[in-house]
Amino acid sequence: MQASIQKTIDFVKKTLANAEAGHDWFHIERVFKTAQTINQQENGDELVVAFAALLHDIADPKFNNGDEELGPNMAASFLSSIAVDAEVIAHVKLIIQNMSFKNSFDGAGFTSKEMQIVQDADRLDAIGAIGIARAFTYGGFKNRVLYDPAILPEKHLNKESYKNTTAPTINHFYEKLLLLKDMMNTKAGKAMATERHNFMLLYLEHFYKEWEGK
């Protein structure tokens, strides 16, 4: 098991060597560690959790012309190349295909205990102090405005609307980040999310004060 995990780590590090800073190896490493922490309480399949956490962003559609099959296929191909069991590969592929926030607009699809663990770990990295840093890193990468009081947050009703938004970064808090606390699956994930959610609320309070020169 450990050898296959290390091979996967090496593959991910190499593949994401030039990735945007919010979706690079360090993001993967944090999700991997958080998923392991959650799994200590949830007792999911360790191998499935590890592979799914390590490979979940191997080809994020945001950076690959919206291609939602490239990542799952790359993950499956790599795992096959290191002789991982076919049943494990199929499970990991389904997790990667279904765990993203944008797919929540499609309603309940595939789920499993392992997917819930990895999904919580990934969502936890989108909130709190690191989540704030990642939001503004991506906003800078896309050359988005920090905040514009004239542009109000939207309630996205479908995947396409969410994917195509070009709104200021502060709007992203209301359109996604502040929603994640109530979308957590696991007991451990919910507890961790509450603290990080509250930190974001405090941050926004300070942001608006400073915006007004107070």
| Tens digit of pLDDT at every position of the chain (214 positions) | 689 999 999 999 999 999 989 999 999 999 999 999 999 999 999 999 999 999 999 988 888 877 788 999 999 999 999 999 999 999 999 999 998 876 565 666 789 999 999 999 999 999 999 999 999 999 999 999 999 999 999 876 565 656 667 889 999 999 999 999 999 999 999 999 999 999 999 999 999 999 999 8
Tell me the whole-structure pTM to 2 decimals: 0.91
Those residues whose C-beta lies under 8 Å from the C-beta of residue 59, and which sit 6 or more positions away, are 15, 67, 70, 71, 74
pLDDT at residue 101, rounded to an integer: 72
Tokens of 89: 């590969």
At the topology level, CATH places domain 2-211 in Hypothetical protein af1432 (1.10.3210)
The answer to whether 118 and 49 are in contact (CB under 8 A) is yes
pLDDT at residue 163, rounded to an integer: 63
| 187: enclosing H helix or E strand | helix 187-211
